[in-house]
Amino acid sequence: MDWKISSGFLAEMIPLQLPAVIGTEIAGTVVDAGPGVTEFRIGARVVGFADSRAFAEFAVAGAARLARIPEGLTAEQAVTLATAAETALRGLKLLAPAPASAVVVNGAAGAVGSAVVQILVADGHTVIGTASPINHDYVRSLGAEPVTYGTTMLDEITTAAPREIDAAFDTAGQGFISRMAGLVPPNRMVTITDFAAGDQGAIVAGGDPLALTAETLSPVLDLASHGAFRTKIAQTFPFDQLTQALALSLTGHGRGKIVVRGVSLH
């Protein structure tokens, strides 16, 4: 999301006036609260979505955009879950997989994909997840059956599926919805990245980053604090290496989230 905003891909939704601060997700400690805010005291550890943009010494966020970080979870672990869990839960609500059904997740090793896999597995679904071969063990460790997303993907999914596939969750695009249409009706697929797939009948979970709230995050944060939901940090960068962090994100093959450490966390 952040490199897409900084590259201007989302200029219609989020126009930038330079010099601009970017950054969507935050975790840290409340240093001040506006009048009428009763949810969080000064000193509370919180995670969520910044109104003022995240890559800065301080950020401003509406109270509804923040959730408390439970004991047992660091700020760095918590911030890996903000967008990933919110997006996974929002997409799954739209998709509504049938109980105990088989579901395919495209991009299962990614930040959103790994959250989708874990929520589905916890709900008793059989999950088949696409990933590069190097990420197959990781996807398996999350509880999904891994398949490679290349030319053999459809055959591998058919072989891996124990029965008819009910639904698919696309986090990676690359024509996944069109290719899967022979196995799953488009209206049983949700995508968070291939917005043109809506024309084929797929469900599009757009998600305006400026309007996201943290109301769905607390249960996932609690699970993570007990080790029942995996958080994965691909790499942590100091604040002055933000450019390198965005460049790593741009490669599109992250296993987990990239964390930028704010100045105030040192």
Ligand X SMILES: NC(=O)c1ccc[n+]([C@@H]2O[C@H](COP(=O)([O-])OP(=O)(O)OC[C@H]3O[C@@H](n4cnc5c(N)ncnc54)[C@H](OP(=O)(O)O)[C@@H]3O)[C@@H](O)[C@H]2O)c1
Contacts to ligand X by CB under 6 A: 1, 4, 83, 87, 106-107, 109-113, 130-132, 135, 149, 171-172, 174, 192-193, 205-207, 252-255
Minimum CB distance to ligand X, residue 9 (Å): 9
CA distance 132 to 147: 8
**Chain centroid offset of residue 259 CA:** 13
Other beta carbons less than 10 A from residue 252's beta carbon: 12
Q: How much of the chain is helix, strand and coil, in % rounded to 5?
A: 35, 20, 45
CA distance 74 to 225: 9
Q: Which of 91, 186 has the CB closer to ligand X?
A: 91
Minimum CB distance to ligand X, residue 100 (Å): 25
Show Cβ contacts of residue 12 under 8 Å, excluding neighbours closer than 6 positions: none
DSSP 221-254: HHHHHTTSS---EEEEEEGGGHHHHHHHHHTS--
Minimum CB distance to ligand X, residue 205 (Å): 5
Q: Which of 40, 90 has the CB closer to ligand X?
A: 90
Minimum CB distance to ligand X, residue 245 (Å): 12
Minimum CB distance to ligand X, residue 78 (Å): 16
Q: Which of 192, 224 has the CB closer to ligand X?
A: 192
Minimum CB distance to ligand X, residue 87 (Å): 4
Check whether the bond before 238 is cis (ω within 30° of 0): no
Q: Which of 1, 121 has the CB closer to ligand X?
A: 1
CA distance 209 to 73: 24
Q: Which of 188, 255 has the CB closer to ligand X?
A: 255
Q: Which of 4, 188 has the CB closer to ligand X?
A: 4
Side chain identity at residue 118, one-letter code: Q
CA distance 204 to 126: 23
